[in-house]
Chains A and B, each alone.
Chain A
Amino acid sequence: MIEAVGLTKRYGDKTAVYNLSFQVRPGAVTGFLGPNGSGKSTTMRMILGLDNPTSGQVTIGGFPYRKLPNAPRQVGALLDAKAVHGGRSARSHLLSLAQLSGIPARRVDEVLGVVGLQDVARKRSKGFSLGMGQRLGIAAALLGDPQVLLFDEPVNGLDPEGILWVRNLMKALAAEGRTVFVSSHLMSEMALTADHLIVIGRGQLLSDMSVRDFISANSADFARVRTPDTEPQLREKLTSALTEAGGHVLPEQDGGLRVTGLPLPRISDIAHDTDVRLWELSPHQASLEEAYMRMTQGAVDYRSTTDQKAGLMQQLPPGAQPPMPVPGQGQPGWYAPPSPQQGGQPFAMGQPPANPYGAPNPYGAPAAPGAAMPGPYGPPAPMAPHAPSQPPQGPAQDAPAVPAPDAAPAAPAPAQPAAASPAADLTKPEDAR
């Protein structure tokens, strides 16, 4: 059990962590999320007694780390995979750590086997790849067979097989009753691994709840409605009827509709009343990634902008088209804050998401000048010119007319990991054994 109370850390006039209080319980994998520079690593260092908090305290099992008797037998940590002397062999490195905490030397060979480094045990770690370094770091964390484990970005640089292994390792460790605290930027990974989430931004606690609650609280759950592809006029009809009834309707790439603000039975009733047949009416939960982006967008310190190459480009010959911006540049302005009626918005948005360069952004209300922001996906008006451009029948992916930038944020795929996670929980651990 890790318990932080009012944890604050200042470096000069920069506050890295401010008034952070949380608990990490045993028997579960707790994810620790936050944008770059939000104070995750600083918090981890304070937990391990490496940095002294400016105020507040953090304890492990009731003791500050440096007061723990034989701390490495209670707590294992992977902070930085490169925190080894490159000139020392993997085995010597682990052996020195084992000796420091009175662990028998044969335990070193065991953990080398656990992380799969037994063949390079006597090689100098300077020549290790990022993934091998990560495995060595995990070996060091497991060395003392501790009941509290901290991992900072454990899957960095690992191959898919290694990622699967780490995922199962975390779950297995938690299932044994240990406390597992993992920071990561890989949302899909966290959705599969973590049971509980602690999210910080700019050094402050944004959220401390279970993964399921987190997603529900920070994303607009929506209903997907599909009308017969063969009759596009039904789609228009239903859209206007749903909008009249107070729902927000967004067309999707493949011809479906994304409806928010109306419960499923009501949508069905409206469709029935307007004489529209439905091919699909399904509830959808947004992905962890989307929920995370929503929550942290106001707390992101390092935000990418579009590479304009202003003043560096040659004069275009007359009649030539300026190149379209490639999708992916700049921060997507798509993760608009949930509407007030959604609730669950603990963090006040500092600034509206900026999308100054006007990348094609059909759903982004902030990009639409003068538009009020009534719902999470913005008013339907800005999309009006876009919607008809979609081919009325057939999957839209076939159509070259659809600009590519839509695909990235609007793809329905992100909903899958979250939906699949309970099933994965049940099936995956067996692979590890």
Chain B
Amino acid sequence: MSTPQPPMPQAAAPNWQAAPGPSYGGYTSPIPVVRTHLGHALASEWTKIKSVRSTIWTLGVFMVLVVGIGLLAAVVVSNSSSEMNGENPLSLGFFGLLLGSMCIITLGVLTTASEYGTGMIRTTMTACPSRSRVLAAKSIVFFLVAFVVTLVASGFIAFVDASLLENNGAKDPSAGEWLKGTVGVSLYIALLGLLSLIVGSIIRHSAGAITVMIGAVLAPLVIALFMFSQSLEDVRQALFEYSIPNQLSVFYSNSLTESGPSGWDPLWIIVGVTAVAFAGAVALLEQRDV
């Protein structure tokens, strides 16, 4: 069998004496000890997220849904009639993104909850006792991945839709509409995924957390649909306006209602919710047993 301790070529001991760490006799490793920081955790989480198949699968399905449905909608509209009546052509990307958000939610939940499901979290937390650093690194890596992927998908479909529907009476989107229809929705979807990641960290169970998040996306809208009583009209209105699908459609300026969130409001709302959830998750993480 191999020797337990192979000779280390880099054993020149350049700076380990200067490195932090208690010296209490016994064995001293020849490998230099470095002070770890968030950058190390980011590199580690990047390795993790790119080395599992669920990432490829969920993001692949997301791309197919967003691009496929967006193209389909654009082709149908451009072939059937020429009535866009000056509407925003980017709004046809909405349907794909709404369905695709389920993939981002799933990936977000799996990023944290799968570690609890497999027991990997104990290995991770042993390797990095600073639990909030791990959660922060996961959040940053996942958010960037989700944002970039959504931006590519939504940007691509926005350009395709805009060029396909140019001759169908659709209006030429303004720069602000372009920004909201690509960067805006991408930020929103990535934050929705980040919220899922945080919920996954709080619930620590993949199926449970995915159910909670999909319920949060769909339930308000569905409940509001069946709220016929006159006295509940205000509640119904609020549920409609603040349901996640409606907030998403605000980025395309075709909200269900005239009141409610408008402009960039949905982004600020989800930033606030995610920040609160993150603080709660960190508090729980520090307190609970792994």
Contact = CB atoms under 8 A, between A and B. Distances in A.
A50 B31 contact: no
A82 interface: yes
Contact of A84 (B31, B123, B287): B123
A73 B33 contact: yes
Contact of B41 (A69, A87, A89, A100): A100
Nearest to B31: A145
Given A101-B127, A114-B4, A147 B26 contact: yes
A50 B119 contact: no
Given A84-B120, A165-B1, A145 B25 contact: no
Contacts of B30: 145
A182 to B, nearest CB: 14
B226 interface: no
Contact of B122 (A83, A110, A144): A83
A173 interface: yes
Interface in B1-26: 1-6, 8, 10, 19-22, 24-26
Given A50-B290, A83-B119, A95-B47, A27 B40 contact: no
Interface residues of B, number: 53
Interface string A139-173: 01010111100000000000001000100110011
Contact of B126 (A72, A102, A178): A72
Given A70-B34, A100-B44, A107-B31, A79 B115 contact: no
B40 to A, nearest CB: 5
B4 A73 contact: no
B22 A62 contact: yes
B130 A66 contact: yes
Contact of A102 (B29, B34, B119, B120): B34
Contacts of A101: 36, 40, 127-128
Contacts of B26: 1, 26-27, 147, 177-179
Interface residues of A, number: 68
Contacts of A99: 40, 43-44, 47
Interface stretch (B50-58, B85-93, B159-167, B272-280): B50-58
B28 A72 contact: no
Question: Which of B3, B27, B41, B121 has the most chain A CB atoms closer than 10 A to its own CB?
Answer: B27
B234 interface: no
B6 A113 contact: yes
Nearest to A79: B122
A69 B27 contact: no
A378 B216 CA distance: 69
Contact of A161 (B1, B5, B24): B1
Interface in A95-111: 95-97, 99-104, 107, 110
Contacts of B43: 99-100
A71 interface: yes
Nearest to B288: A52
A176 B3 contact: no
B10 A73 contact: no
Question: Which of B3, B4, B121 has the most chain A CB atoms closer than 10 A to its own CB?
Answer: B4
A144 B130 CA distance: 17
A259 interface: no
A176 B52 CA distance: 37
Contact of B123 (A27, A97, A142, A172): A97
B128 A100 contact: yes
Nearest to B7: A110
Contacts of A86: 118
Given A102-B36, A116-B1, A26 B25 contact: yes
Main secondary structure of the interface of B (DSSP, over half): loop
Nearest to A68: B129
Given A1-B24, A68-B129, A97-B44, A85 B31 contact: no
A161 to B, nearest CB: 7
A100 B48 CA distance: 11
B127 A97 contact: yes
A201 B82 CA distance: 81
Interface in A40-67: 45, 48-52, 61-63, 65-66
Contacts of B130: 66
B40 A102 contact: yes
Contacts of A97: 44, 123-124, 127
Contacts of A26: 25-27
B125 interface: yes
A432 interface: yes
B126 A114 contact: no
Contacts of B53: 87
Contacts of A68: 21-22, 129
A50 B118 contact: no
B6 to A, nearest CB: 6
A80 B21 contact: no
A342 interface: no
Contacts of B2: 113-116
Contact of B120 (A74, A77, A83, A95): A83
Contact of B290 (A51, A62, A95, A116): A51
Contacts of B122: 45, 48, 50, 79-80, 83
Nearest to A145: B29
B40 A52 contact: no
Contacts of A87: 52-54
Given A50-B290, A103-B31, A147-B26, A173 B44 contact: no
A89 B50 CA distance: 11
A97 to B, nearest CB: 5
B128 A49 contact: no
A52 B289 contact: yes
A80 B122 CA distance: 9
Nearest to A433: B3
Given A68-B22, A85-B118, 4 more contacts: A87-B54, A99-B44, A103-B31, A178-B26
Interface of A: 1, 26-27, 45, 48-52, 61-63, 65-66, 68-75, 77, 79-80, 82-89, 92-93, 95-97, 99-104, 107, 110, 113-116, 140, 142, 144-147, 161, 165, 168-169, 172-173, 176-179, 432-433
14 contacts: A26-B26, A49-B129, A52-B289, A66-B129, A75-B126, A80-B122, A84-B120, A101-B36, A101-B40, A165-B1, A168-B1, A168-B4, A169-B4, A432-B1
Q: Nearest 4 pairs between A and B by C-beta?
A: A83-B119, A92-B51, A26-B26, A145-B29
